[in-house]
Structure 1
Amino acid sequence: MELQIRNLSKTYPNGTQALKNVNLTIPTGMFGLLGPNGAGKSSLMRTIATLQEADSGSIMLGDLDVLKQKEEVRKVLGYLPQEFGVYPKVNAEDLLDHMAVLKGLHNKKERQAVVAALLQQTNLYDVRKKNLGGYSGGMKQRFGIAQALLGNPKIIIVDEPTAGLDPAERNRFHNLLCEIGEDRVVILSTHIVSDVSDLCRQMAIINKGEVLLTGDPLRVMDDLSGKIFKRMIGKEELMEYQLQYNVISSRLFAGKTLVHIYSETRPDYTFETVQPDLEDVYFTQITKAQAAPAVNEVLKAMS
């Protein structure tokens, strides 16, 4: 099964165009939707999850029309939103059991078996009687995945799931996502580049509601081979370098500033070639998108 999104657009009443003619084909497995905050990721996820209407376009999940057959889609959908609240004075087992009833699992014996299996799968069985208010951030996220897996969904959406998790909980969550993503569509929406590079076989970069790039992370990194260069400079030199070169990223390192630039050829002998990673791909695409309006204005003024 695959998810097909065609010409999807959404503008909010305040005039913000959250989605601009989005086209994506999302196959079975882990798919990474990467973009900065405010890029339109959550708007796209909410639309796929049948929580908001689109202005135009279509979304098909196999034979299901997501925009028209909302009730049927909800039967095969699991969703972990960015803001996932829990009842703090209820334990995990009881709340998951209650959610299972809402999902349509009315046979008590069958429901208990499903709840126990999901708590085992998410490594929460030993703390199933503990109130959710006492759970860590990572434990709450794993509980969120447990509820998303109720009903054995064909598509699971997780929106910014690792933001704020410590490294150990992040690794546990990654392992869990890999496990559940083997035989269904799992969409991972995030602004954390390493989440996508670690987990996803296919990806898209989105910014200001527009899809900038799609493909296999390894392939898109290879496409940049020989075009990313780095150099250590003084902090006071950064602005000069930004004016002179296509600086895609900069960060402090050992009291100096490490810059990465995009160039078809080595600028000069002082620059060192870098083996591109997904962060370089991401920053190259975002930088190009941000520069496009300015270039268009210059061309318009010259015409």
Structure 2
Amino acid sequence: MLKIRDLSKTYANGVQALKGISLDIPTGMFGLLGPNGAGKSTLMRTIATLQDADSGSVHLGDLDVLADKTEARRRLGYLPQEFGVYPKVSAMAMLDHFAILKGVVDGRQRKDLVKALLQQVNLWPVRHRKLGTFSGGMRQRFGIAQALIGQPQLIIVDEPTAGLDPQERNRFLNLLAEVGEQVVVILSTHIVEDVTDLCPRMAIIAQGELRLTGEPREAIASLDGRVWKKSVDKAALDEHLAAYTVLSTRLVGGQPVIHVLSDGNPGDGFAAVPPDLEDVYFGELRRAAAGDAAVAKAA
């Protein structure tokens, strides 16, 4: 269990990236949803001991992560949003180097470990290829291989499927699901579908604050009978945005389709639709924005 309590961080430019975040994250896949700039990466970097918090605590079992960073790094696997590689080095040589950095000094043990990890992420057949020739999905799978060195108790992956094609995305997510059967895996993303498909528990963070935590299916069930859909003319879109609690707008065949939150049928051509996690997510972002607007107005 990873326990986060009252974690706060304000940068030198005055941006308050984290505002008293508290979370309990059990073994398995845990989805952390939020838009760009929500504070997800700040939270991940703090847990990964790459930056200090202003206040609060992080415990992994009996380990005080923020106080004992050296031991925390031994128990951690981390795949950052921007995972750089040496393009002219082979996958096998690079993973061997990472294993040395992780303290695997015995040559035979390291050779067996590198082979096992490359097989696990399905990169053994291309082990001699230079990393610069790998596709985006292959690089991400290599990133998971390096994150698994040392049998970590906690793995953090930050926006791992951004830019991947559908096939590579599915392959990568299946790999993450397998890894998440044994350890705590935090999947930080703004892609709602990734969390819906993989994570039995989740949290939504917006503007540095925890907006919602729990099971995706329970969050979705809370909107049963309250989400309505309508296709509208582009000329009437602004009118609908002003008149209704619009969760999302997307173009379908060139025509705007809106999802609206309402306890009763709004009428006027609306039809009920089953809610999904995207409706939950956009609803929380809307409430967060409305709260900030109210604070600004009061000031």
What TM-score bracket applies, with the shorter chain setting the length?
Answer: over 0.9
Match of 1:203 in 2: 202
SS at match of 1:60: strand
Structure 1 position 294, deviation (Å): 2.8
Structure 1 position 28, deviation (Å): 0.3
Runs of 4+ in 1 over 3 A off after TM superposition: 295-298
Match of 1:173 in 2: 172
Match of 2:83 in 1: 84
1:113-192 map, 5 Å:
113-192=112-191
* Partner amino acid, structure 1, of 2:259: H
Structure 1 position 233, deviation (Å): 0.5
Q: Distance in 1 between matches of 2:36 and 2:71?
A: 31
Match of 1:291 in 2: 290
Offset from partner CA, 1:131-155 (integer Å, 9 cap, x none): 0011111100000000000000000
Q: Distance in 1 between matches of 2:255 and 2:163?
A: 28
Q: Number of aligned residue pairs: give it.
A: 299
Pairwise CA RMSD: 1.1
Contiguous gaps of at least 5 residues in structure 1 = none
Structure 1 position 297, deviation (Å): 5.4
1:221-300 map, 5 Å:
221-268=220-267, 270-296=269-295, 300=298
Offset from partner CA, 1:232-288 (integer Å, 9 cap, x none): 110111110111100111011123110001112111252111100010000011011
Structure 1 position 295, deviation (Å): 3.5
Offset from partner CA, 1:152-192 (integer Å, 9 cap, x none): 00000000000000000001001100000001000000011
Offset from partner CA, 1:209-236 (integer Å, 9 cap, x none): 1010001011100011111111111011
Report the CA distance shift for 1:63/1:263 in structure 2 as closer, same or farther (over 3 A): same
Verify: 1:212 aligned to 2:199, yes or no. Answer: no
Offset from partner CA, 1:91-148 (integer Å, 9 cap, x none): 0001101110111111111111110000000000000000001111110000000000
SS at match of 1:280: helix
Relative to the length of structure 1, the TM-score reads 0.97
Match of 2:36 in 1: 37
Give yes or no for contact 2:207–2:288 (8 Å, CA) kept in 1: no
* Partner amino acid, structure 2, of 1:249: S
Verify: 1:57 aligned to 2:56, yes or no. Answer: yes
SS at match of 2:113: helix
SS at match of 2:73: helix
Report the CA distance shift for 1:120/1:182 in structure 2 as closer, same or farther (over 3 A): same
